[in-house]
Amino acid sequence: MKDVILVFKWIFGILFIISGFFGMFAAFITGLLFILLGLFILPFTYKLFAKKVNIKLPSWSKWVIVVVGIVVAVIAIPETIMKTEKEVNSLLSKASNFIDNEQIDSAKVFIKRAKQNSPDSLKQRAIDLEFELKNYNSEKFAIEILIEMDDNEFDELKSDNLSKTYLNQPTLNEKLILILQKKAPERNKIIEEIKKKKEKERIVEELKVEQEKQKKRNQIVQKQFSPWDGSHPKLSNIIEKGCRNPDSYEHIETRFRDEGNYIFVITKYRAENGFGGMSIGEVTAKVDLSGNVIEIVSQE
């Protein structure tokens, strides 16, 4: 039983330490408490602690301390998060005020501090404000918005009555709208240019796909022919069998062209004729992509 309890102490001690380490990024105090509890549970570190303070606690009191510690840690979570959220809100509020006063560099400092001090659950707000500060005066960003606008929004923009908000920070949103109004006369031209660009990209992509397709087909076709003498093995085999003396068959050359539905093959060869001499002959045939001879078209 003691061995089982010892194993549990090691398991829970390590789990508490790991949980506390990662928990510190979200709630520092809670994470620290879990690490301390883990060290208190681990047999090795507890022995060091007991030896240092010269105290020996009964087993039940150790678990009471652990339970009380967990309760305190859990209670501290909301308070820690609220405190962190308040700090982040304060930093971002100051950054927003600096933006209103056109002190952009100071605003960047406070946004950076907000990102550094925020847990992941709160960091997004700082990231969003940083994004807005980066793009509020970007013509590229403004053009993207113009393109995505529907006709009603565009009419509101032209009449200086646009109700839609694109950036949460009011000053940055106002400056962005000024850029949108400046670029508004170019909207149709920009949309047309983008259409042409997309069409060009589509054609290039289709051409690329077609070239890749043709490349694969060429590889399939080339595999039908011998890398040594360029002959078509299956057609050569048919020609050889049809000779008066198959052993006299000699391949001279083979040419081919891809006709789409089939491969047109022309093979020139030398073989023994009826008079005992050697004659040159030529066979044309259709073969499929698997190399099978579909039809002997002519034979001379």
Domain boundary residue among 101, 120, 153? Answer: 101
**Tokens linked to 226:** 């011998």
- Enter the DSSP assignment of 56: -
- Domain count within the chain: 3
Query: Can you give the pLDDT at residue 207?
Result: 93
**Chain mean position to CA 101:** 39
Using CA atoms, how far apart are residues 131 and 85, in angstroms rounded to an integer? Answer: 20
Give first-to-last CA distance, the chain, whole Å. 98
Query: Can you give the pLDDT at residue 158?
Result: 86
Q: Is residue 123 part of a domain?
A: no
**Tokens linked to 68:** 């009380």
**Tokens linked to 267:** 């093979």
Query: Can you give the pLDDT at residue 75?
Result: 54
CB of 34 closer than 8 Å to CB of 17: yes
Domain boundary residue among 46, 76, 101? Answer: 101
Q: Is residue 195 part of a domain?
A: yes
Query: Can you give the pLDDT at residue 76?
Result: 53
Q: Is residue 108 part of a domain?
A: no
Residue where the block lists tokens 């050697």: 278
Is there a single domain that holds both residue 275 and residue 193?
A: no
Mean pLDDT by 10 residues, the chain (300 residues): 64 69 63 70 67 64 64 55 69 89 90 78 83 90 88 86 88 91 87 87 93 90 89 89 88 90 91 83 90 87
CB of 272 closer than 8 Å to CB of 295: no
Q: Is residue 110 part of a domain?
A: no
Is there a single domain that holds both residue 228 and residue 202?
A: no
Is there a single domain that holds both residue 54 and residue 15?
A: yes
Is there a single domain that holds both residue 259 and residue 173?
A: no
**Tokens linked to 299:** 């034979």
Is there a single domain that holds both residue 187 and residue 260?
A: no
CB of 250 closer than 8 Å to CB of 269: yes
Helices and strands (H and E) in the chain: how many:
11, 4
Domain boundary residue among 49, 80, 101? Answer: 101
Using CA atoms, how far apart are residues 180 and 183, in angstroms rounded to an integer? Answer: 5
Domain that holds residue 147: 136-222
- Enter the DSSP assignment of 101: T
Using CA atoms, how far apart are residues 175 and 68, in angstroms rounded to an integer? Answer: 55
Is there a single domain that holds both residue 20 and residue 90?
A: yes
Is there a single domain that holds both residue 16 and residue 89?
A: yes
Is there a single domain that holds both residue 185 and residue 228?
A: no
How wide is the angle at C-alpha 153 spanned by C-alphas 150 and 158, nearest 5°? 125
Q: Is residue 156 part of a domain?
A: yes
- Written as one letter, the residue type at 29 is I
Query: Can you give the pLDDT at residue 69?
Result: 61
Query: Can you give the pLDDT at residue 148?
Result: 87
Q: Is residue 127 part of a domain?
A: no
